[in-house]
């Protein structure tokens, strides 16, 4: 079941954004693999029905599903292309209790389905109305169900993630500053804003720093640098000379992270925990 009226962010992920992630998924899976055990450990042993929000191609969903003793892990993502890939991967790996649904967590109709744990790896920062989204997710959760989210801290804490923008910024006057309250990678950078968003629907909210060491090959970095992020989205519309200059600047911007043929960086995140509030 798909969801309508999902705004500009939804159209991006259903179109070019989702397609790029499908094409680059092996690289992205390897880069973000260190987060998988973090979320797998966050699922209580008693939990049987898990919801993975913004599951992408389902790497975390499959890891959690494999560890369940009964029940299933359901991955929800707005990108049809990513969900199709997730289904094919689960089938090829024989993970029959990993289910995948196309939908926007803010608007999806869960019907009578209820979950006793909710997780997300970088999947909740893109809601255009996050308060409404977490109220909807609360409706899909059993009373007392736990929720564990991994989200990015701020741009200043993540120099690798912002290297392309810093390097290319002088060449791209159209590259506006990041709005930390708009849907996007850093929308949950302010922990107090996150608390305000969750407070109406979720209790016992805890937010703690999470620093995770990540890596990708220098060869993959060459692809990542020109295919992912805000600068990459602007490249197709640039004239050839400007495009060449921007790509050269971006490559120089990533050089400090590369050593011995590997790019290494620390992903500076928050791990956010909460419980589904009992009805008032």
CATH of residue 74's domain is 3.40.50.150
**pLDDT for the residue numbered 120:** 98
Q: Residues 219-243: what's their mean pLDDT?
A: 94
Per-residue model confidence (pLDDT) at position 3: 36
Condensed to tens digits (0 to 9), the pLDDT of residues 129-140 reads 999 999 999 999
CA distance 177 to 110: 36
Q: Does 47 reside within a domain?
A: yes
pTM: 0.91
pLDDT range class, residue 18, cuts 50, 70, 90: low
By mean pLDDT, which of 13-22, 77-86, 181-190 is the weakest?
13-22
What DSSP designation does 47 have?
A: -
Contacts of 111 (CB under 8 A, 6+ apart): none
Q: Which pLDDT value is given to residue 7?
A: 42
- Residue-wise DSSP of 267-280: EEEEEEEEEEPPP-
pLDDT at position 14 is 53
Residue 186 in domain: yes
Which runs of E-coded beta strand occur in 107-233? Answer: 115-121, 141-152, 202-217
Three-state SS string across 141-173, please? Answer: EEEEEEEEEEEECCHHHCCCCCHHHHHHHHHCC
The string of pLDDT tens digits covering residues 188-221 is 999 999 999 999 999 999 999 999 999 999 999 9
List, for residues 66-125, the tens digit of each pLDDT value: 999 899 999 999 999 999 999 999 999 999 999 999 999 999 999 889 999 999 999 999
Domain count along the chain = 1
Q: How are beta strands 98-102 and 115-121 bridged, if at all?
A: unpaired
**Is 50 among the domain residues?**
yes
- The answer to whether the CB of 212 falls within 8 A of the CB of 153 is no
CB 258 within 8 A of CB 142: no
Is 171 a member of any domain? no
Query: Do the domain assignments include residue 236?
Result: no
Q: What is the mean pLDDT of residues 248-257?
A: 97
**Predicted local confidence at residue 112, as pLDDT:** 87
Report how far residue 3's alpha carbon sits from residue 208's, in angstroms, rounded to the nearest whole number. Answer: 32
Residue 6 has pLDDT above 60, yes or no: no
Residue 5 has pLDDT above 50, yes or no: no
Q: What pLDDT does 21 receive?
A: 76
Q: Of the given ranges (4-13, 155-164, 167-176, 264-273), which has the lowest mean pLDDT?
A: 4-13
Q: How far apart are the first and last CA of the chain?
A: 31
Q: How far is CA 5 from CA 2, 127, 175, in A?
A: 10, 12, 27
pLDDT at residue number 231: 96
| Residues β-bridged to residue 149 | 120, 272
Rounded CA-CA distance 229/239 in Å is 19
pLDDT at 2: 30
75, containing H or E segment: strand 72-77
Segments forming the whole domain that contains residue 64: 7-154+177-214+267-276
The answer to whether residues 185 and 152 touch, using CB atoms and an 8 Å cutoff, is: yes
pLDDT tens sequence across 21-40: 788 988 999 999 999 999 99
**Inside any domain, residue 238:** no
Cα three-residue angle 185-188-189, rounded to 5 degrees:
90
Q: How far apart are CA 221 and CA 170, in angstroms?
A: 22
Grade residue 12 by pLDDT with cuts at 50, 70 and 90. low
Which pLDDT value is given to residue 279?
64
**Other Cβ atoms within 10 Å of 62 Cβ, number:** 23
The pLDDT value recorded for residue 277 is 79
Query: Is 122 a domain residue?
Result: yes
Q: Is the pLDDT of residue 250 over 50?
A: yes
- Residues making up the chain, counted from first to last: 280
Provide the 3-class DSSP secondary structure of residue 67.
Answer: coil
Residue 232 lies in a domain: no
pLDDT of residue 1: 30
Please tell me the predicted confidence (pLDDT) of residue 23: 87
At residue 4 the predicted structure's pLDDT band, cuts being 50, 70 and 90, is very low
């Amino acid at each position: 079941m798909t969801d309508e009226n999902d705004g500009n962010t939804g159209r991006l992920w259903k179109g070019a954004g989702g397609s790029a992630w499908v094409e680059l998924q092996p690289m992205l899976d390897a880069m973000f693999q260190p987060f998988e055990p973090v979320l797998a450990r966050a699922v209580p042993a008693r939990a049987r029905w898990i919801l993975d929000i913004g599951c992408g191609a389902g790497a975390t969903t499959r890891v959690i599903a494999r560890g369940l003793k009964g029940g299933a892990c359901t991955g929800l993502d707005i990108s049809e292309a990513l969900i199709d890939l997730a289904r094919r991967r689960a089938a090829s790996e024989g993970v029959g209790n990993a289910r995948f649904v196309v939908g926007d967590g803010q608007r999806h109709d869960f019907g009578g389905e209820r979950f006793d744990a909710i997780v997300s790896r970088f999947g909740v920062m893109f809601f255009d109305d996050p308060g409404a989204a977490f109220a909807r997710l609360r409706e899909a959760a059993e009373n007392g169900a736990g929720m564990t989210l991994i989200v990015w801290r701020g741009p200043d804490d993540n120099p690798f993630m912002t290297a392309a923008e810093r390097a290319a910024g002088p060449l791209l006057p159209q590259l506006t500053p990041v709005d930390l309250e708009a849907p996007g990678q850093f929308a949950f950078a302010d922990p107090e804003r996150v608390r305000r968003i969750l407070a109406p629907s979720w209790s016992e909210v805890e937010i703690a720093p999470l620093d995770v060491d990540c890596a990708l090959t220098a060869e993959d970095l060459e692809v990542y640098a020109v295919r992912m992020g805000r600068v990459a989205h602007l490249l197709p519309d640039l004239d050839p000379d400007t495009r060449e200059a921007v790509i050269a600047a971006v490559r120089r911007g990533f050089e400090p992270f590369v050593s011995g043929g590997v790019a290494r960086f620390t992903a500076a995140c928050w791990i956010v925990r909460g419980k589904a509030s009992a009805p008032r």
